[in-house]
Amino acid sequence: MTEVAVKTIKTNPKVEEKYKPKTPLGKSLWEIRKQIIASGVPLLTSEEIEREVRERRGERMDYTE
């Protein structure tokens, strides 16, 4: 897997406090997100997530990124 430059995504504590997931999946994902933030691991951008998914699927990488 190739190394990816990690960007730090800043979270807004006010939004964090107000958001209440409605579904069991949403609640589970929100808890995982909070654990990641608490651990200090930076969150990935949507582009970084898409790139990682393509890599894990073994898709050919577009080297123009």
Which tens digits make up the pLDDT trace of 8-62? 556 665 566 688 999 999 999 999 999 998 999 998 999 999 999 999 999 877 6
Element (H, E) at 61: none
What is the reported pLDDT for 24? 97
Question: Rounded CA gap, 60 and 40, in Å?
Answer: 31
Question: Rounded CA gap, 12 and 19, in Å?
Answer: 11
* Higher local confidence (pLDDT), 63 or 1: 63
Question: Rounded CA gap, 1 and 3, in Å?
Answer: 7
Q: Quick one: pLDDT band at residue 1, thresholds 50, 70, 90?
A: very low
pTM of the model: 0.56
The CA–CA distances, whole Å, from 28 to 3, 21, 53, 59 equal 28, 9, 20, 28
